[in-house]
C-alpha cells in the first residue's frame, strides 16, 4: 500500500487549490479564469480595499463572459456569475493564503527584491508539494526562483491582458524545472482554457520580445512625425489585421509597464537599438500619463 501511495504521489500534480498573489489587472484575470474552470482560488492582497477592487473587476468581467456564454438565458448567466464568484476568496495574510495551495502564482509588482522577499516566505509557508510560478513579463524566472528551495517546481506562467479573453499562456521553463512540474504546468494551463506554448527563460519570452520592440518602433515613428498616432494605429489594424494599433496597445498595456520592460532590457543590453526607451514614453510616464487606466496616455479616455 505504501508503495502505491508513493507512486500516486509521483504522478502529475492534481491542482485544485490555486493561490494568486496580487489581485491587480493580471492577478484578478488569472483568478477569474481559474475559478471559471471550477478550481478553488485564493487571492492574497495587501488590504481589504484591494481585495474589494479585485472582486469588483472579476465580477464585471464575469458579467461580460456570462452574457456571451448564455446569450438568451439571463438566469443561467447570473448563476454562472455567482457560482464562479463563490469559488474565489480574498485574504491579506500570505501564510493563510498559501497553506493549502497546490499552485501559487505571483502577479505583483515587477521588482526583483520584492519578489524575492515574497517567494522566500511562500517557500517556507506553502506545502512542500506546491508548484510555484511567476507571471512576470520582464524579469528572469530563474532569477526569481533562485531564493527558493524548490527550483524543480518553479516556472513561468505568463498570461496576456485581458486574461479572460486572450487565449495564450506562455509556460516558461528553466534548466532546473523538472519534467513532471513542466507537464503539470502545461496540463493546468489547458485546464483553465488556454493554449500553451513553451519557451525558455529569455527576455520577453516569445510575445513581449516581439511586441515590445514593435510598439517602441511605432512610438519612434510617431516621434519623427512620419505619421500621426491615429494613422499608425489605423494602418496596422487595417493593413496587418491587428485588433489594436501599436500605440493604442501601449495605452492599453500601460505606459508605465511598457517603459519598465524596455528600460530593464536597455540596462541589460545597452547595445541593442530595439531596446532604447522612446523619448515620448519617458515624458508621458513622468507626467503620470499611464494610458487607459489613468485616463490619458497617447490618447485621452473617459475615466470610469
Binding site for ligand 3HC (CB under 6 A): 61, 64-65, 68, 137, 160-162, 164-166, 208, 211, 243-244, 249, 253, 257
- The residues pairing with 20 across neighbouring beta strands, listed in sequence order, are 43, 105
Residue with Cβ nearer ligand 3HC (13 or 32): 32
**Per the residue annotation, which of 45, 55, 106, 170 is the catalytic one?**
170
Q: How far is the CB of 210 from ligand 3HC (least distance, A)?
A: 10
Catalytically annotated residue among 181, 208, 248, 296: 208
CA max distance for the chain:
73
- Is 116 labeled as catalytic in the residue annotation? no
* Distance between CA atoms of residues 15 and 151, nearest Å: 18
> Which of residues 94 and 165 has its CB atom nearest to ligand 3HC in the complex?
165
Residue the block writes with cell 512610438: 219
**Which one of 13, 134, 137, 181 is the catalytic residue?**
137
Rg, the chain, Cα only: 20
Nearer to ligand 3HC, 221 or 244 (CB): 244
Q: Where are the alpha helices (DSSP H) in 148-269?
A: 179-191, 207-224, 229-240, 246-253, 255-268
At closest approach, how far in Å is the CB of 67 from ligand 3HC?
Answer: 7
Say whether 170 is catalytic. yes
Query: Is 138 known to sit in a ligand binding site?
Result: no
Cβ 143 to ligand 3HC shortest distance, Å: 17
CB of 141 to ligand 3HC, least distance (A): 13
For residue 105 the three cell numbers come to 502564482
Q: Is 184 annotated as a binding residue?
A: no
- 61 marked among binding-site residues: yes
Q: Are strands 40-44 and 88-91 parallel, antiparallel or unpaired?
A: parallel
User: How far from 114 is each of 109, 147, 269, CA to CA, in Å?
Assistant: 8, 12, 23
Q: Which DSSP symbol is given to 297? A: S
Q: Is 137 a catalytic residue?
A: yes
Indicate the residue among 55 and 102 with the shorter CB distance to ligand 3HC: 55
Residue number with the smallest Cβ distance to ligand 3HC: 137
Residue in 42, 91, 79, 69 with CA at minimum distance from that of residue 164:
69
Q: Is 208 a catalytic residue?
A: yes
Q: Which one of the listed residues 17, 45, 140, 158 is annotated catalytic?
A: 158
Take residue 22 and report the three cell numbers written for it.
496580487
Task: State in angstroms the smallest separation of the CB of 26 from ligand 3HC.
Answer: 8
- Residue 165 or 234 with smaller CB distance to ligand 3HC: 165
Spatial CB neighbours of 183, under 8 Å, sequence gap ≥ 6: 12
CA distance 130 to 83: 26
Look at residues 152, 169, 151, 148 and name the one whose alpha carbon lies nearest to residue 160. Answer: 169
Residues at the binding site are: 61, 68, 137
Residues at the binding site for CoA are: 61, 68, 137
Active-site residue list: 137, 158, 170, 208
Amino acid at each position: 500500500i505504501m508503495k502505491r501511495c508513493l507512486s500516486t504521489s509521483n504522478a502529475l500534480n492534481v491542482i485544485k487549490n490555486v493561490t494568486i498573489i496580487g489581485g491587480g489587472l493580471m492577478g484578478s484575470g488569472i483568478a477569474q479564469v481559474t475559478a471559471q474552470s471550477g478550481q478553488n482560488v485564493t487571492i492574497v492582497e495587501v488590504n481589504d480595499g484591494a481585495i474589494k477592487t479585485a472582486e469588483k473587476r472579476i465580477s464585471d468581467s464575469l458579467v461580460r463572459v456570462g452574457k456571451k456564454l448564455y446569450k438568451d438565458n439571463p438566469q443561467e448567466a447570473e448563476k454562472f456569475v455567482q457560482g464562479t464568484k463563490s469559488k474565489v476568496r480574498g485574504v491579506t495574510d500570505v501564510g493563510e493564503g498559501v497553506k493549502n495551495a497546490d499552485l501559487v502564482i505571483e502577479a505583483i509588482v515587477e521588482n526583483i527584491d520584492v519578489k524575492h522577499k515574497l517567494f522566500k516566505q511562500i517557500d517556507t509557508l506553502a506545502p512542500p508539494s506546491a508548484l510555484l510560478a511567476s507571471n512576470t513579463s520582464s524579469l528572469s524566472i530563474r532569477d526569481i526562483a533562485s531564493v527558493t528551495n524548490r527550483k524543480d517546481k518553479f516556472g513561468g506562467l505568463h498570461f496576456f491582458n485581458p486574461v479572460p479573453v486572450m487565449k495564450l499562456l506562455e509556460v516558461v521553463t528553466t534548466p532546473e524545472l523538472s519534467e513532471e512540474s513542466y507537464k503539470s504546468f502545461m496540463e493546468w494551463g489547458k485546464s483553465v482554457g488556454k493554449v500553451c506554448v513553451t519557451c525558455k527563460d529569455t527576455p520577453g519570452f516569445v510575445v513581449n520580445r516581439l511586441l515590445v520592440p514593435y510598439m517602441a518602433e511605432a512610438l519612434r515613428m510617431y516621434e519623427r512625425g512620419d505619421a500621426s498616432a491615429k494613422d499608425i494605429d489605423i494602418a496596422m489594424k487595417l493593413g496587418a489585421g491587428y485588433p489594436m494599433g501599436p500605440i493604442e496597445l501601449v495605452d492599453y498595456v500601460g505606459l508605465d509597464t511598457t517603459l519598465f520592460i524596455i528600460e530593464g532590457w536597455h540596462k541589460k543590453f545597452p547595445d541593442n537599438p530595439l531596446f532604447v526607451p522612446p523619448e515620448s514614453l519617458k515624458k508621458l510616464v513622468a507626467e503620470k500619463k499611464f494610458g487607459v487606466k489613468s485616463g490619458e496616455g497617447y490618447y485621452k479616455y473617459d475615466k470610469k
